[in-house]
Structure 1
Amino acid sequence: MVFDGELTLLPMGQYLHRALGGDYVALAATHTGTSAPEIELDDSSDSGFAVREVDLPAPEDGSIEAAAVAARIGTGLVDLRAQAPGLDRIRSQSTWMRTPLRDAFDAVLTVPTATAEVSTPRPARD
């Protein structure tokens, strides 16, 4: 992570790869649904943000989501090491992260939907 132009910390995967070597496997997770939870600023919320469902466009060509839909994968694990190069994006909430997926991950877990977790309200403090 870079903050104010300075490298401040390394991704957890880098530490795990150093510790586990060839036994380390980098997994991504995504979904092929038509909506997703998105975090938005909300001054009326105690936390300063709210989670809302947003509609999503169809998966873009070149994305793991488009490949999963074309292959009719509902829930599955896609081994990127066995895939031809070319997949260059993955959803990150309601936007796209562009990166050569085979360089970033070993596999992608894909599911048909993503939803916001509904949690129990915190008890009042005394």
Structure 2
Amino acid sequence: MTTDEILMDVEERMEKAVRKLKEDLAGIRTGRANPGLVDSLKVEVYGSPVPIKQIASVGAPEPTQIVIRPYDPGTLKEIEKAIQQSDLGFNPQNDGRMIRLNVPPLSTEVRRKLVARIKELAEETKVAVRN
């Protein structure tokens, strides 16, 4: 391998580690509603798990609320069930056309856990970049 090839390989691996950190941080709950909070959610529809973004539009019309509008209204119950079974900590409100998720304010204990998780993610990324 030439020096340029090694350099390109190292840069690619470092960028991949940083991209992964950004994705992980986007999924961490803050005090504001963020559609990224439900991006990792898989919904069991049509006989297989499907990412929620493929079966519904997800938005945050208010700072404390996430709204999920399924493209097929028949999937509302499956989406609601997936949210309830996830570890997101949301209580879905189904009105027959869409699902609303109210994002409660963070407690001190939850904030401490989030800070610890973020530090853990940062350390994992540092190790990945060093290697």
Higher share of residues assigned strand = 1
**TM-score under structure 1 length normalisation:** 0.28
Higher RCO structure, 1 or 2 (CA under 8 Å, sep 6+): 1
Bigger proportion of residues as helix: 2
